[in-house]
């Protein structure tokens, strides 16, 4: 089986992960790999806008794929994300086996299909919070700039 990274079918999602062979339900598609760090280090990366590709095991162990684009699992998008396309549904999920995380098929997946995996409600709650926070910060900075112009 070969996994291919190319433009996602989800509008605005960037790249996506596709399979060139059919996959059976419960198949381990790919291991989620990246740099192993702790939660404290991840928080520092968030402040530098170097986030968005984290798998959290616990506070001492996270896998961050932000700086490792060679690891393809990071390209599996969530069909239930910010931008949705009618008819697209998640077909996999993250599962932990021992000390490793894998993307695992939740149904049979046809050759040529994009791999969509559930990022979880906690992930999207965090993303929504951060998005709103960033908008508030941008609005506050704009207000300050407007006051300085006057």
Question: In the predicted model, what is the mean pLDDT of the chain?
Answer: 91
Tell me the HSE value of 19 on the side-chain side, using a 13 A CA sphere.
23
Q: How confident is the model at residue 132 (pLDDT cuts 50, 70, 90)?
A: confident
Whether the per-residue pLDDT at 10 is higher than 80: the answer is yes
Q: How confident is the model at residue 115 (pLDDT cuts 50, 70, 90)?
A: very high
Enumerate the domain spans of the chain. 3-149
For the stretch 34-66, pLDDT in tens is: 999 999 998 898 888 888 898 989 999 999 999
Distance (Å, whole) CA 30 – CA 27: 9
According to CATH, what is the number of the domain 3-149?
2.170.270.10
Average pLDDT, integer, range 68-80 = 95
Distance (Å, whole) CA 26 – CA 103: 10
Tell me the HSE value of 59 on the side-chain side, using a 13 A CA sphere.
1
């Amino acid at each position: 089986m070969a996994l291919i990274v190319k433009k996602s079918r989800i509008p605005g999602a960037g790249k996506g992960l596709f399979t060139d062979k059919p996959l059976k339900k419960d198949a381990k598609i790919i291991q989620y790999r990246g740099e192993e760090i702790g939660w404290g280090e991840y928080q520092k990366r968030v402040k530098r806008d170097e986030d968005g590709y984290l798998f959290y095991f616990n506070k001492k162990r996270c896998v961050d794929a932000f700086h490792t684009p060679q690891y393809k699992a990071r390209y599996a998008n969530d069909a239930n994300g910010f931008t949705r396309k009618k008819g697209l549904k998640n077909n996999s999920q993250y599962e932990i086996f021992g000390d490793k995380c894998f993307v695992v098929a939740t149904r049979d997946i046809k050759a040529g299909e994009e791999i969509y995996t559930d990022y979880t409600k906690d992930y999207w709650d965090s993303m929504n919070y951060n998005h709103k926070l960033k908008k508030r910060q941008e609005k506050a900075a704009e207000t300050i700039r407007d006051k300085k112009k006057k």
